[in-house]
Amino acid sequence: MTPAEPAPAHTLVPDDDAVPDYVRELERVASYLPEDQRALLRRAWAVGAAAHAGQTRRSGEPYITHPVAAATVLAEQRVDVETLVAAILHDTIEDTPLTRESLAGEFGETVAELVEGVTKLDKLQFEDRQEAAAESFRKMLLAMARDLRVILIKLADRLHNMRTLGAQSTEARSRIARETLEIYAPIAQRLGMNLIKAELQDLGFRALHPWRHAVMEKRIRTQPLLRREALARIEAQLAQRLTKEGLQYRLVSRVKSPWSIYDKMRAEGKTFDQVMDVFGFRMVVTSVPACYHALGVVHSVFKPLDGRFRDFIAIPKANGYQSLHTVLFGPYGSPIEVQIRTEEMDLIAERGIAAHWTYKHGGTKPSSAQARAHSWIADLLESQRATGSSLEFLDNVKVDLFPDEVYLFTPKGAILALPRNSTALDFAYAVHTDVGNNAVAARVDKKLVPLRTKLASGQKVEIITAKSSLPKPQWLEFVVTGKARTAIRHQLKHLEHEDAVQLGHRMIDRALENLGTSLDRLPPKRLDAYLAEFRYPRLEALLADIALGNRMPAQVAQALARSGEATTPDLLDALRVPREGERILITGNERGVITFANCCMPIPGDEIMGYHTAGRGIVVHRMDCPNVAEYRKSPERWVAIGWDREVTGDFHVALRIEVDNSPGVLAQVAAAIAQAESNIDGVEYLERDNNVAVIRFSIEVSDRKHLAEVIRRTRRLGVVHGVQRV
Set 95, 263, 382, 644: catalytic member: 95
Closest CA to 700 of 591, 628, 604: 604
**Cα end-to-end span (Å), the chain:** 79
- DSSP states of 564-577: TPPPPHHHHHHHHS
Q: How far is CA 424 from the centre of its chain?
A: 17
Set 25, 61, 76, 94: catalytic member: 94
Residue 578: partners with Cβ closer than 8 Å, 6 or more residues away: 638, 640
Residue 157 falls in the annotated catalytic set: no
SS (H, E, C) 522-563: CCHHHHHHHHHHCCCCCHHHHHHHHHCCCCCHHHHHHHHHHC
CA distances from 10 to 14, 39, 44, 81 (A): 9, 15, 10, 20
The CA distance from 277 to 329, in Å, is: 12
Whether 464 and 447 have beta carbons less than 8 Å apart is answered as: no
The CA distance from 705 to 255, in Å, is: 71
Whether 418 and 455 have beta carbons less than 8 Å apart is answered as: yes
Report CA dihedral (371, 373, 378, 379) to the nearest 10 degrees: 120
Assign 593 to helix, strand or coil: coil
The CA distance from 631 to 600, in Å, is: 14
Residue 122 falls in the annotated catalytic set: no
The CA distance from 402 to 613, in Å, is: 41
Residue 271: partners with Cβ closer than 8 Å, 6 or more residues away: 265
Assign 641 to helix, strand or coil: strand
- DSSP states of 407-424: EEE-TTS-EEEE-TT-BH
Assign 161 to helix, strand or coil: helix
Assign 467 to helix, strand or coil: coil
Instruction: List the beta bridge partners of residue 695.
Output: 657, 685
- Note the maximum CA span of the chain: 104
Beta strands 720-725; 447-449: pairing state: unpaired
Residues serving a catalytic function are 94-95
